[in-house]
Amino acid sequence: MSSTTAGSSTTVATLIPSRTAVRAKVRVRRKGSAQRVRTGISAIVIVVWCLLPFYWMIITAFRDVGFTYDTAFWPTHITLDNFTTAFSTALGNHLGQALLNSLFIGVCVTAIALLIGTFAAYALARLDFRFKGVVLGLILGASMFPGVALITPLFQLFTNIGWFGTYQALILPSISFVLPLTVYTLTSFFREMPWDLEEAARIDGCTQGQAFRKVILPLAAPAVFTTAILAFISSWNEYLISSQLSSDATQPVTVAIASFAGSQPHQEPYTAVMAAGTIVTVPLVILVLIFQRRIVAGLTAGGVKG
């Protein structure tokens, strides 16, 4: 209704700018700049809230253990000792081994999930078949499955067959949540792909193999790669199952960090833990920032927490 008023006033305004029209224009401009300021302040609050704890971890990691509780907001008493402590096997911190374990478990889980999940995702995205909704629902339900419901029987099973603390005992349960995530994310990506191009390539004289190799594979590669990153991150971040089924030799970084020893007896090894946390997190954060766009797409497509 008010839009018609605005319309009629502009016809008048072409000759004599009416007072209300001028006032309305000023109000819009003021509202615009006021909103810009508010957006700016909100943006700063969000960035500070998200980054400050992370920043605090990093500067504490470089702070001398004697100044653990220093409240300066910039790096002070800079040292690398905490990193030495974090890797010190003499103190019982197997961070080096734990990093390798996490890497190995993550790569295996990701490889298995992708190898198997790609086929399912292709079928779910491209083919029509009965019970498709059921299969999708089943896979989505599986990704929401509580980990504790798995560890009790697995704890007993793995103890009985002598797998307790082995790598396979950590890889298999992780598949329970990485595989659904992989299938779901890949399905979403595959749905968006321009599959018509495959047919076009065939018409242009490609064999089916060539069409797949030269057209589909390059198109699908980014999707598969993004899914691989998401799968790897969710495996790398897993704690519950590993904390119960791993041994000292096979424990991943999350478990290692949760049970850390410091250089000073009778003192919580905060600085060393922050150093270990920095080592575990920074590569991940860099990876995420590089592939930011695709990861956001993958996250919202899969809708599953990593």
Partner 1 sequence: MAAYLIAPTIVLLAIVIGYPIVTAIIQSFQKDPGLDAATGQFVSGGFAAVSNYAHWLLQQCMNASGNTIACPPGNLGSGFWNATGVTFFFTVVTVALETVIGTWFAIIMNRTFRGRALVRAAILVPWAIPTAVTAKLWYFIFSVAGIANALFQSHILWTSDTWASRFAIIIADTWKTTPFMALLILAGLQLIPEEVYEAARVDGASTWRTFVTITLPLIKPALMVAILFRILDALRMYDLPAILTGGGGGSGNATTTLSILVVKQIRAGYNSASALSTITFLIIFIVAFIFVRVLGTNVVRTQEAQQKGTKA
- Determine the Cα–Cα distance for residues 71 and 131; give it in Å rounded to an integer: 59
Token pair in block for residue 88: 């010190």
Residue 257 neighbours by CB under 8 Å, 6+ apart = 95, 98, 273, 276, 277, 280
Name the residue nearer to partner 1 (CB basis): 179 or 220.
Answer: 179
**Shortest CB 165 distance to partner 1, Å:** 15
Phi, psi of 78 (to 5 degrees): -70, 135
CB of 201 to partner 1, least distance (A): 21
| Closest separation in Å from C-beta 237 to partner 1 | 4
Backbone angles phi and psi of 233, in degrees to 5: -60, -45
Q: State the minimum distance, in angstroms, from the CB of residue 250 to partner 1.
A: 16
Dist CA 114 CA 224 (whole Å): 8
Nearer of residues 46 and 217 to partner 1, judged by Cβ: 46
Q: Is 63 helix (H, G, I), strand (E, B) or coil?
A: strand
Q: 270: which 2 tokens? A: 């905060």
| Closer by beta carbon to partner 1, 152 or else 204 | 152
Looking at beta carbons only, is 55 or 206 nearer to partner 1? 55
Task: Give the nearer residue to partner 1 in terms of CB position, either 204 or 283.
Answer: 283
Minimum CB distance to partner 1, residue 80 (Å): 19
